[in-house]
Amino acid sequence: MPEATTLWRPTGPEELALLRDSGWRAWPPCLPEQPIFYPVLNEDYAVRIARDWNLPRDGGGHVTRFRVEADFAARYPVRRVGGRTILELWVPAEELAEFNAHIAGRIELVRSFLPG
Strand extents, DSSP E, 3-116 = 4-11, 36-37, 61-69, 78-80, 87-89, 91-92, 103-113
The domain segmentation of the chain, as residue ranges, is 4-113
- For residue 1, what pLDDT band results from cuts at 50, 70 and 90? low
Average pLDDT over residues 23-41: 95
User: Binning pLDDT at 50, 70 and 90, where does residue 71 land?
Assistant: very high
Class of domain 4-113: alpha beta
Q: What is the pLDDT of residues 43-67, one digit of tens each?
A: 999 999 999 999 999 999 999 999 9
Residues in Cβ contact with 12 at an 8 Å cutoff, skipping those fewer than 6 apart: 54, 57, 58, 59, 60, 61, 62
pTM as predicted: 0.94
CB 92 within 8 A of CB 75: no
pLDDT at residue 85, as a whole number: 82
Percentage with pLDDT > 70 across the chain? 99
Phi-psi region of 59 (alpha: psi -120 to 50; beta: other; left: phi over 0): left
